[in-house]
Amino acid sequence: MRPTGRLHLGHLLGALPNWVRLQDDYDCFYCVADLHALTTRFDSVAGMKQDGIEMVADWIATGIDPQRSVIFRQSEVKEHSELALLLGMLVPVSWLTRSPSYKEMVGELGERVATFGFLGYPVLQTADIILYKASRVPVGEDQLSHLELAREITRRFNGLYGKVFPEPKAILTETPRLVGLDGRKMSKSYGNTIDIAEEPESVTNKIMSMFTDPARKRLKDPGHPDECNVFSYHQYFDIPDGEKAEIDSACRQATIGCTDCKQRLAARVLARLDPIRERRRQLLDEPGRIEGILEDGRRRAQTVATEVLGEACRTIGI
């Protein structure tokens, strides 16, 4: 995951619970992808290291266990860069330029990001995966094409030099379609998110200003819970079936106000966030705690990375 800012409710309900679950069945490597972050924030690096530290605090506070999983910074395991360089020798440029996400991102972020590094993003991403001979990668449906490219690059390496790397397969992870507080796609840049570590007062204020069913202009107007973002948030935050049915019916009969409904949601969201915020605070208050975890992770990651890169180099004959 790239350290591009604080994690929000989309991460809390999306990638993170999947990552936590995977720890039961796999040896997991979770990487602060700071080199990847540089592809788009090469000109705004201030705070990037701290962003990484806070992101790791979010991971651990939500259940990633640094004893079981390897947590490290990508830039501190130099083998990522070296393997990416080797893979770069055999990847045709056309494989990278045809990628729809490359064109889309350059269209969205402008020529500023049309750099050598950004074009090579999928090569570095492949190195990140195969450097640990990963058999599985947790991805959402929208990332399947990236993984297919990684598999293609892996096949090319194995075909040219000899089979070193397994072709990584996807673990397709279902993530809820949580939209932003204003009903648009959830995105930091739209300012429609709630951070995992956000202070309770701010969380409450944001929920109280959420968009609801536009049909409910006045208290006596009947509502449509299935068209209301607040109602969908209730469901993502474990509303008991009885209360869900009660709000559904009260909204349709206009016997509950949106303010009351949002207050209940705020209480529900805070009940989930409070213990996470507390665990996170404890981690960050202890000097050097996260850096220690990252150093331990670097050591464990590097042990594997050195061996695999060595094997790759010997197979190439360098």
Distance separating alpha carbons of residues 286 and 263, to the nearest angstrom: 34
Residue of 230, 239, 266, 305 interacting with ligand SF4 (CB under 6 A): 230
Least distance in angstroms from the C-beta of 211 to ligand SF4: 9
Q: Which is nearer to ligand SF4, 261 or 266 (CB)?
A: 261
Residue 223 binds ligand SF4, judged by CB under 6 A: yes
Least distance in angstroms from the C-beta of 312 to ligand SF4: 55
- Cβ-defined contacts of 290-297 (< 8 Å, 24+): 290/53, 290/56, 290/57, 290/60, 291/53, 293/56, 293/60, 293/66, 293/71, 294/32, 294/53, 294/56, 294/71, 294/72, 294/73, 294/76, 296/66, 297/66, 297/70, 297/71, 297/72, 297/73
Residue 2, helix vs strand vs coil: coil
Residue of 231, 269, 290, 301 interacting with ligand SF4 (CB under 6 A): 231
Residue 39 binds ligand SF4, judged by CB under 6 A: no
Residue 139, helix vs strand vs coil: strand
Residue 228 binds ligand SF4, judged by CB under 6 A: yes
Q: Which is nearer to ligand SF4, 94 or 217 (CB)?
A: 217
Residue 8 binds ligand SF4, judged by CB under 6 A: no
Residue 256 binds ligand SF4, judged by CB under 6 A: yes
Query: Which stretch, 141-149, 175-183, 212-220, 289-297, contacts ligand SF4 (CB under 6 A)?
Result: 212-220
Distance separating alpha carbons of residues 77 and 297, to the nearest angstrom: 10
Residue of 212, 269, 294, 298 interacting with ligand SF4 (CB under 6 A): 212
- C-alpha closest to that of 256 among 298, 228, 236: 228
Strand-pair partners of 195:
8
Residue 179 binds ligand SF4, judged by CB under 6 A: no
Query: Which stretch, 34-42, 106-114, 222-230, 302-310, contacts ligand SF4 (CB under 6 A)?
Result: 222-230
Structure tokens, 289: 């705690």
Least distance in angstroms from the C-beta of 32 to ligand SF4: 37
Distance separating alpha carbons of residues 182 and 205, to the nearest angstrom: 13
Q: Write out the residues near ligand SF4 by the rule CB under 6 A.
A: 212-213, 216, 223, 225, 228, 230-231, 247, 251, 256, 258, 261-262
